[in-house]
């Protein structure tokens, strides 16, 4: 009988170093013969306060079935491609102990680092993943998650068990891929201009998304420093991505240890809740309604408006890091019908995307047209208008329709401000 063996872990890194994907990669290299799939990089609720960076949890999957499986190319190590095998992991306790030893060896101790690891040996529904990607799970749940697992280990307050379980509970659909290159303990320093050159090269293959933000001069494939990740390239075709990554490390002489391919939920919008009638703090939503109060700006270049929808009135915002997205936000006027998507934090929906459904016609009060000469009258003050040619008077203003510098359509924040989970504007081919 076929058995699913799902191994998940999370929360091994601190702001000073490490990345949980690195531990997943070395574990995948070590147990490649037993893997049934790519390592899974599962992004969870992007608004969670405990996250170090991108709230990513990891899982490795083993599937012991009597038939031979087609091998997958999951990475590149010591000049060779790395394949999955079809051997069956026999001793789950031994697997658990060995992986936990690696986690203990490589995890970065820190006040906010609470590693957790679980193994499940049964099929799991995706309910727990759904909760973890859209909401907040209380620490009290950790005990029962441990009980339900076949094997578990944790350190600190054990919060990593939540992400570890959620990573196992992800169904694997819909998905994208990310290929990451590593050097331990920290990635080589790459000059900013060279980073832009590499990102441009990768982008021009036409196989990737969220690679470069030319306008804001951000080579998005390069992460923040202090981790072993050199770069991460995202797209839909795992083998093409791996070839591109191998080409990059050779072409640009990048000192690296290995490259690993992950199947991920990045770019899927899985964090967004549709159809809610109440907004909860730390969750992300798309709501549809009309603008009822036009944009105001505060110091620092943060813009706010008010939208009325069937859940009431909600403040929406475009913050400074969303750069040129604020230009779209600024153009929204009272009466515009929009779908607003973003994270609900501190009573405000922080937008990552706007779908402008219908623009309201907006009029400006001004001097009326002279009915006799068809010329626009002049404002004489005190509510009086007078025609400059025939001197006819009017006490009623006229209204001029304003041109809108906006078209209906979908507008997303630029690549430099894009969340891992958000569906990007430049998706090649769409989701599987």
Rounded Cα distance between 424 and 431, Å, is 11
Say whether residue 280 binds ligand ATP (CB under 6 A).
Answer: no
Query: Cα separations (Å) of 349 from 44, 46, 248, 290, 342?
Result: 18, 14, 39, 14, 6
Say whether residue 270 binds ligand ATP (CB under 6 A).
Answer: no
Rounded Cα distance between 338 and 307, Å, is 9
Least distance (Å) between residue 302 CB and ligand ATP: 24
Task: Kindly write out the interface string for residues 111-130 of this chain, putting x where it contacts ligand ATP by CB under 6 A and - elsewhere.
Answer: ---x----------------
Say whether residue 345 binds ligand ATP (CB under 6 A).
Answer: no
Phi, psi (degrees; rounded to nearest 5) at 74:
-105, -5
Least distance (Å) between residue 15 CB and ligand ATP: 9
Say whether residue 46 binds ligand ATP (CB under 6 A).
Answer: no
Which of 8, 46, 54, 235: binder of ligand ATP (CB under 6 A)? 54
**By CB under 6 A, how many residues form the interface with ligand ATP?**
24
Say whether residue 136 binds ligand ATP (CB under 6 A).
Answer: yes
Rounded Cα distance between 358 and 344, Å, is 24
Least distance (Å) between residue 26 CB and ligand ATP: 15
Rg (CA), the chain: 27
Rounded Cα distance between 241 and 245, Å, is 6
**Pick 141 or 386: Cβ nearer ligand ATP:** 141
Say whether residue 137 binds ligand ATP (CB under 6 A).
Answer: yes
Could you check whether the bond before residue 137 is cis, i.e. omega within 30 degrees of 0? no
Say whether residue 132 binds ligand ATP (CB under 6 A).
Answer: yes
Rounded Cα distance between 303 and 317, Å, is 6
Least distance (Å) between residue 237 CB and ligand ATP: 24
Say whether residue 103 binds ligand ATP (CB under 6 A).
Answer: no
Least distance (Å) between residue 134 CB and ligand ATP: 8
* From 63-71, 80-88, 158-166, 366-374, span contacting ligand ATP (CB under 6 A): 158-166
Say whether residue 45 binds ligand ATP (CB under 6 A).
Answer: yes
**Pick 284 or 350: Cβ nearer ligand ATP:** 284
Say whether residue 230 binds ligand ATP (CB under 6 A).
Answer: no
Joined together, the tokens standing for residue 148 give 């339900």
* From 63-71, 160-168, 257-265, 340-348, span contacting ligand ATP (CB under 6 A): 160-168
Residue whose CB is nearest to ligand ATP in the complex, by number = 163
* From 69-77, 133-141, 246-254, 263-271, span contacting ligand ATP (CB under 6 A): 133-141
Say whether residue 27 binds ligand ATP (CB under 6 A).
Answer: no
What ranges make up the beta strands (E) of 271-405? 272-274, 284-298, 302-309, 312-318, 337-345, 348-358, 363-366, 378-381, 384-386, 393-394, 398-401
Least distance (Å) between residue 137 CB and ligand ATP: 4
Rounded Cα distance between 289 and 336, Å, is 8
Least distance (Å) between residue 269 CB and ligand ATP: 16
Say whether residue 162 binds ligand ATP (CB under 6 A).
Answer: yes
Return the DSSP state at 108: P
**Pick 354 or 417: Cβ nearer ligand ATP:** 417
Least distance (Å) between residue 292 CB and ligand ATP: 32
Say whether residue 10 binds ligand ATP (CB under 6 A).
Answer: yes
Q: Is 136 left (phi over 0), alpha (psi -120 to 50) or beta?
A: beta
Contact status, residue 39 vs residue 177, Cβ threshold 8 Å: no
Dihedral angle computed from the Cα positions of residues 350, 351, 356 and 361, in that order, rounded to the nearest 10 degrees: 40
Which of 51, 302, 315, 330: binder of ligand ATP (CB under 6 A)? 51
425, burial (CB in 10 Å: exposed 0-12, middle 13-18, buried 19+): middle
Q: Which of 109, 127, 107, 126 is nearest to 117 (CA)?
A: 107
Q: Which residues within the stretch 378-397 sit at the binding site for ligand ATP (CB under 6 A)? A: none
Least distance (Å) between residue 165 CB and ligand ATP: 8
CA 372 to chain centre: 61
Contacts of 93 by beta carbon, 8 Å cutoff, 6+ apart: 151
**Pick 51 or 327: Cβ nearer ligand ATP:** 51
Query: Where do contacts with ligand ATP occur on this chain (CB under 6 A)?
Result: 10-11, 13, 19-20, 44-45, 48, 50-56, 114, 132, 135-137, 159-160, 162-163
């Amino acid at each position: 009988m076929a058995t699913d063996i799902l191994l998940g872990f999370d929360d091994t890194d601190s702001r000073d170093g490490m990345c949980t994907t690195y531990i997943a990669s070395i574990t995948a290299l070590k147990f490649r013969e037993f893997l049934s799939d790519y390592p899974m990089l599962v992004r969870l609720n992007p608004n969670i306060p405990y996250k170090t960076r991108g709230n990513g949890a990891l899982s490795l999957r083993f599937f012991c079935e009597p038939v031979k499986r087609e091998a997958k190319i999951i990475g590149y190590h010591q000049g060779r491609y790395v394949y999955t095998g079809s051997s069956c992991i026999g001793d789950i306790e031994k697997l658990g102990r060995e992986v936990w030893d690696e986690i203990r060896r490589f995890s970065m101790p820190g006040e906010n680092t609470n590693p957790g690891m679980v193994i499940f040996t049964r099929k799991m529904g995706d309910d727990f993943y759904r909760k973890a990607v859209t909401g907040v799970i209380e620490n009290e749940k950790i005990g029962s998650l441990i009980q339900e697992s076949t094997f578990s280990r944790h350190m600190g307050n054990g919060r990593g068990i939540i992400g570890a379980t959620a990573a196992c509970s992800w169904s694997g659909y819909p998905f994208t891929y990310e290929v990451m290159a590593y050097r331990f303990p920290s990635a080589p320093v790459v000059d900013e201009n060279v980073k832009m050159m590499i990102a441009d090269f990768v982008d021009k293959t036409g196989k990737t998304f969220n690679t470069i933000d030319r306008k804001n001069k951000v080579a998005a494939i390069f992460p923040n420093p202090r981790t072993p990740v050199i770069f991460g390239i995202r797209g839909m075709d795992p083998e093409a991505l791996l070839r591109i990554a191998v080409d990059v490390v050779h072409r640009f002489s990048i000192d690296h240890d290995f490259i690993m391919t992950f199947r991920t939920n990045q770019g899927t919008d899985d964090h967004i809740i549709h159809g809610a009638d109440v907004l909860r703090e730390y969750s992300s939503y798309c709501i549809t309604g009309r603008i009822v109060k036009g944009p105001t700006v505060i110091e620092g270049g943060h813009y706010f408006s008010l939208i009325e929808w069937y859940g009431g009135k909600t403040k929406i915002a475009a913050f400074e890091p969303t750069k040129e997205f604020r230009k779209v936000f600024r153009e929204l006027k009272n009466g515009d019908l929009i779908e607003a998507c973003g994270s609900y934090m501190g009573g405000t929906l922080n937008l990552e995307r706007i779908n402008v459904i219908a623009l309201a016609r907006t009029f400006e009060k001004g001097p009326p047209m002279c009915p006799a000469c068809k010329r626009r009258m002049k404002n004489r003050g005190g509510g009086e208008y007078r025609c400059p040619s025939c001197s006819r008077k009017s006490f009623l203003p006229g209204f001029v329709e304003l041109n809108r510098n906006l078209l209906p359509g979908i507008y997303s924040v630029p690549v430099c401000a894009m969340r891992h989970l958000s569906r990007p504007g430049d998706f090649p081919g769409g989701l599987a």
